[in-house]
Every structure is written in C-alpha cells, then in structure tokens.
Amino acid sequence: ADIDTFQSTLNAYRQNAINATDPALQFEYAKLLIEAANDQYENSSSASNIKNKNDLFDEGFKFLKKLSHVGYPDAQHYLATCYNQDGDWDKAYPLYLQAAKHNHPIASYEIATYYESKKNYKKASQYYKKAASQGYPMAMYRLGCAALRGEMHMRKDVKNAIKWLKRAAVVATKENNAAAAAYELSELYEHGMPPQIYSDELYSLELLVQAAELDYPPAQYKLGWCFEYGELGCPTDAVQSIHWFLLAAENGDPNAQFSLAGWYLTGAEGVIEPNDKEAFYWAMKAAQQEYDKAEYAVAYFYEMGIGIGKNMKEAMRWYSVAADHGDER
C-alpha cells in the first residue's frame, strides 16, 4: 500500500514538474526521484522493484541532465556529486566547474580541494577564495588554516588566518562542519601568538564550548580533559568530564575513548561505578583506531584478565601491535 500511495503522489508531482517553467521545481522533483529510488526500493530484490528503482533513477537523471544543460547550477552540482560518489571524477569535474562558474559555492570548494590534491595551489586558493567570498564556511576554514601554517605556498599571516577562522566560526552549525574553525581559534587564543594575538583563556574556553556543542569531537574531548584536570579556568568536575568524553567517544574520537576507559577503570564517586567490562570496551574502541596507548592497555587487560577473559596470546599480539605503533613500553 505504501508503494501505491507513493506512486500516486509521484504521478501528481510528475505532472507539475513536466508543466513547470520553474527550474527549482523540476530540480526538487529530480532529487525526490533519486532519493525515492534509494529509499523505497532499498531492501527489495524482486525483478519488478529493481525495474521500478532503475526507472526512477533514469527519470531523475534525465531531469538533472536537462537542467544542467540549460545552466542550472544546483542541478550541475547535484549531478556532479552523484558522479563523484560513483567514483567517476571525469564526469563530475566539468559539471562542478560549470556550477562554480555559475557561483555555486560548494562546487567552487570541490574544485579547490581537487586542485589542492593536485598541488596546483594557485588555482586551489583562487577557488577557495571564491567559495569563501560566497559564504561557504569550509572554504573560510581552509583559507584560515593555510594562512596560519603557511600552506599552499601562502606566506604565514596570523592576522589573515584569524579573519577567515572568525568568519567561519560565526556561521558554524552542526551541519556545515565549520565548528573546526572555532576549535582552531580556541587553540590559538589558549596559547597566543604574540604580537598578533595574546593568550585569552576565557575567550579560548568560550570558543571550545561552541565547537563542542556543535558536535566537533576533538573539542568535546578537550573539554572533557579540561574538566578532568581543571584547565582553561574549568573547575575539576567528573560529571562534566565524563559527559564530554562520552559524547566525543560516541563520535569516534580515540583520545576520548581511551580517557573514558580510564574513568570506568577507576570509577568516579557518586558519578559512575568502576566497570572493567566498559573500560575494556572503550579501550578496544580506541585500539581499533591504532591509538598506541589504548593498544598497550588492551594488551594489559588481556594479560591480567581485566574486563575480559585472560588470554596471553591476545595480550602478546596487542603488545606487539602497540610497539609497532610507537608505544615505548
């Protein structure tokens, strides 16, 4: 029944799109078709459903190609991204280029990252600047980092770096990944770079909290660390520390996973009970990301039977892995 309802909705939408003079409506319809092909028939392998899925894709791509051909930048960018995700850069590149010429900021950013990967820094910075001037935060962030570190053949320029990083941080959201700019600024203001910038712990903490609240894992880890050790003017607070470590750990940050393992090993009075199984679980999560201290801890847990059955063979294997990755012990 769901698929029947879906088909009749689609038919109504199709008539609108075919008769529309507005390219935005046709573009929305094309996206709907492609997303529906992925969602509606995702888990189905029956012949008729596979045909339906392919028909939706064909119709969606027909609209996208038509819109791209008449110079509609959103369609050019979307089609390029589809090709790029399929690993067909040769088809994606000219479409990104056309969309960038039509002032599509994300397309300009894609072209910039491509040129940077090819070490064509002149063109890369040209397209990063184009995307940044059109308000794309990741381009601002990249320009800020490049100016800060003297990358892409730019001269080091702290003032210029701060300008771009601040512009990115102001517009950062959970969706656009620009929280990294707030984190970078936080690091800068923590340590200072006199005479251009002097240490300001309060402002550094404010930026760190901003980045952490926007779900940026390194900032969540750092905030957990600040609450564990009372750094950056934070009080020592096990509840806050564990809260931020847990968020960062769930977002895949190996430092936080390892720190969380430490909290579970010792427990924190009135906050969490010691729990060897949890300690092993989080140490293993970090070890699976080749974090050498965690690899050593996993080996030790296996050797001593902490949170897992004793297993000397596994212990020796993990000690050896840790040594390969640079743990000195």
SS3 category, 272: strand
The answer to whether 98 touches 70, Cβ cutoff 8 Å, is no
Q: What is the DSSP letter of 155?
A: P
Q: Which residue has the tokens 């949170």?
A: 307
CA atoms within 13 A on the CB side of 250: 6
Amino acid letter, 47: A
Give the model's pLDDT for residue 42.
67
The answer to whether 264 touches 278, Cβ cutoff 8 Å, is yes
Residue 270, domain member (yes or no):
yes
Residue 325, domain member (yes or no):
yes
> Roughly what angle, to the nearest 10 degrees, separates helices 47-69 and 23-40?
160
Residue 233, domain member (yes or no):
yes
Residue 296, domain member (yes or no):
yes
Residues in the chain, total: 329
Residue 44, domain member (yes or no):
no
Residue 165, domain member (yes or no):
no
Give how many domains the chain has, as a whole number. 1
Contact partners, residue 201, CB within 8 Å, separation at least 6: 189, 190, 232, 233
SS3 category, 214: coil
Q: What is the DSSP letter of 46?
A: -
Amino acid letter, 95: L
Model confidence over 192-223: pLDDT tens digits? Answer: 999 999 999 999 999 999 999 999 999 999 99
Give the model's pLDDT for residue 239.
97
Q: What CA–CA distance (Å, rounded) separates 127 from 139?
A: 9
- What CATH number did the domain enclosing 247 receive? 1.25.40.10
Residue 212, domain member (yes or no):
no
Give the model's pLDDT for residue 154.
95
In this structure, what token pair is assigned to residue 275? 């729990």
Structural domain span for residue 253: 220-329
Model confidence over 95-151: pLDDT tens digits? Answer: 999 999 999 999 999 999 999 999 999 999 999 999 999 999 999 999 999 999 999
Q: What CA–CA distance (Å, rounded) separates 140 from 163?
A: 9
Give the model's pLDDT for residue 8.
81
Q: What CA–CA distance (Å, rounded) separates 96 from 74?
A: 10
**Residue 134: exposure state from Cβ atoms within 10 A (0-12, 13-18, ≥19):** middle
| Mean pLDDT, contiguous 10-residue spans, the chain (329 residues) | 74 84 93 88 74 91 96 98 96 98 98 98 98 97 98 96 98 94 98 94 98 98 98 97 98 98 96 97 98 97 98 98 86
Nearest to 284 by CA among 313, 322, 328: 322
Give the model's pLDDT for residue 1.
47
Give the model's pLDDT for residue 319.
97
Q: What CA–CA distance (Å, rounded) separates 142 from 119?
A: 15
Q: What CA–CA distance (Å, rounded) separates 295 from 225?
A: 20
Residue 240, domain member (yes or no):
yes
How far does Cα 77 stand from its chain's mean position? 20
